[in-house]
Structure 1
Amino acid sequence: MKNILLIGLFMSFLFINCSPSAQEKSKKESASKDSLAYDANAKAESSQMGDSIAHDVSLSTATPKEKKFIKTADLKFKVKNVLQATEKIEDVTTKYGGYLTYSNLENKNENIRTTELTKDSLLISKQIDVVNEIKLRVPNEKLDSFVRELNPLVVFLDYRVIKLDDVTHQFLSTQKKNARFQKYENRQLNNIDKKSSKLNETTNAEDNLFDRQNQADDQQIKALELADNVKYCNLNIQIYQKPVIVREVIANFDFITEKKQGFFSRAGESLMQGWTILEELILFLLKTWSFLLISLVTIFGIIFIVRFFNKRRVE
């Protein structure tokens, strides 16, 4: 009976020492409440900051029907995957009746570092920035819908620049010039037919008509170009993603081409490698100290209980 009482007191002592006190509990509860309050405030601040940052590339370029505009858009934003985003942009371009004029998908190597692992091997670490510059054209009236479909791709918006040039008067001026050139050409043709009997006058009139026709052709080409710019808007899109870190081990050819090392050099290198292994082992043991402590307590506890019962049996 006395032995059972001693065991009960021993277990109670361990429980009391291992269990947290009321003051510690109070401190933990207070710290937990403070942590929850801090997390709530941090989330609220993060949400407010997120709301203040532009993530949406949507736009509205509605214009009066009687006006003629040349629309251009410049976009730059971060995506999760440049290759997949490029394919999506190309698909959306085709969907809205547009076409691609330029695409430059590129892997840029940045921050290249070389570290010597051993005498005969090197570790190459480099940061790869995947970027793409895309130029395309879509119908003027489809610009808003096209840009709106890019929203799911945007992780972070760097900028969105929209420009509308009013060319209503220029468009009207071009049409009138074309009409005047056409009338002048018709009159000259009639005059040449009437003066067919006079060779010199006919030749001069035809030369003059030829010059005017060249001017009319240039003016007509300008009119077509202006009409095309009004019908299709130009978009310049730059996309990028989170940098990718690439590491690879390569042979150290400078060392390989050298002659074989001596005994003492190789012995020193072996000692360094062994010391590195010992360091890693010590660090591993330090990380698992709690597990080792519990194991030791358990083992000593079992030994104590076994000895106790063995002693009791002997008695």
Structure 2
Amino acid sequence: MLYSCSNNGDYRALDNTSSDTALVAADSVSTIDQKLIKTADLNFKVKNVRKVGEEVTGLTQHYRGMVMNHHLRSEVERLKEVELDDDSVMRVSVFDTHADMTVKVPAEHLTAFVTAVNRLGVYTTVSDMDIEDNTLTYLESQLRMDSRKELVKQHKQGTIKLKNPQDVLIFKDALVDEQINTKRIDAAVKYSTVSLSFFENNTILKERIPNTNPAVYNTGFGLRLKQAIVNGMHIFAEVFIALANLWVFVIMAVAMWMIYRYYKRKHPVLFADKGTAKPVV
């Protein structure tokens, strides 16, 4: 009880400090500008995706904005090939085209920009616009930043001393984070982000392309007959050359045949048939 009584003055001082902080915060809220972050989201159908993408880029430049992202894609849904002749085919492709864009425009021109973009489409499927109030978040970052600045200042002046030197670095890093957070909020308040997604009807493309099937490329009858004759001459020449390489065996065969004829003429009895042979007296 005696300890509590001796510290009543400290509690009153803490209460006065809290009251002063609350009053400062209330005064800051009343004097600070509202930090309103505006965003929009549009999804609509157009007649020509490429042309509308160029027009959206022109509108963004007109309202002093910037294109942050532009993604266009075409996907083939169905494909058919019809043979026209041996050399070419007709390819019929059915594909759809979509485009996604992210742009930033000054917040004061957001409504005019969205209205102008809506006029580029055939009809709009989704149109959203959101406003987020970040005034208190901005004020919180500022108060934390001021308190950390004051703490670092008092540490440099020697008014207070931190037991761990690493705490100074931690406070400085937190100060940098709060500064970046306030800068981020200021940038989001100044420039509104608009997300766009638009599409068109399916497109049919017909194109005549070379036939890539090698089985259809055959030569004519006359040319194939000519090639067959030439190939036959080549085969005959190869066989003749092969026989010429065997000339020794040819000579030996001829010589053996001549010896056989000569021996048969000299000894006809040995080569006569058994039915026609004459008895020896």
TM bucket normalised to smaller? 0.5 to 0.7
Query: What's 2:138 paired with?
Result: 171
Give the percent of matched residue pairs that are identical in Structure 1 and Structure 2: 25
Is the helix fraction higher in 1 or 2? Answer: 1
CA drift at 1:140: 1.6
CA drift at 1:240: 2.0
Partners of 2:216 and 2:84 in 1: how far apart?
Answer: 17
Question: Does the 8 Å contact 1:123/1:249 carry over to 2?
Answer: yes
Q: 1:245 aligns with which of 175, 179, 204?
A: 204
Based on CA coordinates, which of the two structures has the bigger radius of gyration?
2
Which consecutive unaligned segments of at least 5 residues does structure 2 have? 1-31, 222-281
Q: 1:117 aligns with which of 84, 103, 109?
A: 84
Query: What's 2:187 paired with?
Result: 228
Q: 1:128 aligns with which of 85, 91, 95?
A: 95
The residue correspondences of 1:73-152 to structure 2 (distance < 5 A) are: 73-152=40-119
The answer to whether the aligner puts 1:209 opposite 2:142 as a matched pair is no
Query: What's 2:126 paired with?
Result: 159
CA drift at 1:107: 2.8
Question: Does the 8 Å contact 2:105/2:192 carry over to 1?
Answer: yes
CA drift at 1:98: 1.3
2:119 aligns to what SS in structure 1? helix
CA drift at 1:119: 4.5
* Dislocated runs of 4+, deviation >4 Å: 255-258
1:209 aligns to what SS in structure 2? helix
1:163 aligns to what SS in structure 2? strand
Length, aligned pairs only: 191
Question: Does the 8 Å contact 1:106/1:131 carry over to 2?
Answer: yes
Query: What's 2:265 paired with?
Result: none
Partners of 2:186 and 2:220 in 1: how far apart?
Answer: 76
Distance 1:246 1:210, change over 3 A: same
Partners of 1:119 and 1:255 in 2: how far apart?
Answer: 10
Cα deviations by residue, 1:111-169 (Å, 9 ceiling, x for unpaired): 11122334543211012323221011112221101112223311121211222222222
Question: Does the 8 Å contact 2:45/2:122 carry over to 1?
Answer: yes
Question: Does the 8 Å contact 1:73/1:236 carry over to 2?
Answer: yes
TM-score computed with the length of structure 2 as normaliser: 0.60
The one-letter amino acid paired with 1:247 is K
1:154 aligns to what SS in structure 2? coil
The one-letter amino acid paired with 1:210 is L
The one-letter amino acid paired with 1:163 is D
Partners of 1:93 and 1:258 in 2: how far apart?
Answer: 55
The residue correspondences of 1:269-288 to structure 2 (distance < 5 A) are: none
Distance 1:221 1:66, change over 3 A: closer
1:160 aligns to what SS in structure 2? strand
The one-letter amino acid paired with 1:214 is D
Which consecutive unaligned segments of at least 5 residues does structure 1 have? 1-64, 196-200, 263-315
Question: Does the 8 Å contact 2:89/2:209 carry over to 1?
Answer: yes
CA drift at 1:207: 3.7
Please report the RMSD computed on the Cα atoms of aligned residues, expressed in angstroms.
2.7
CA drift at 1:260: 4.6
The one-letter amino acid paired with 1:221 is I
CA drift at 1:239: 1.8
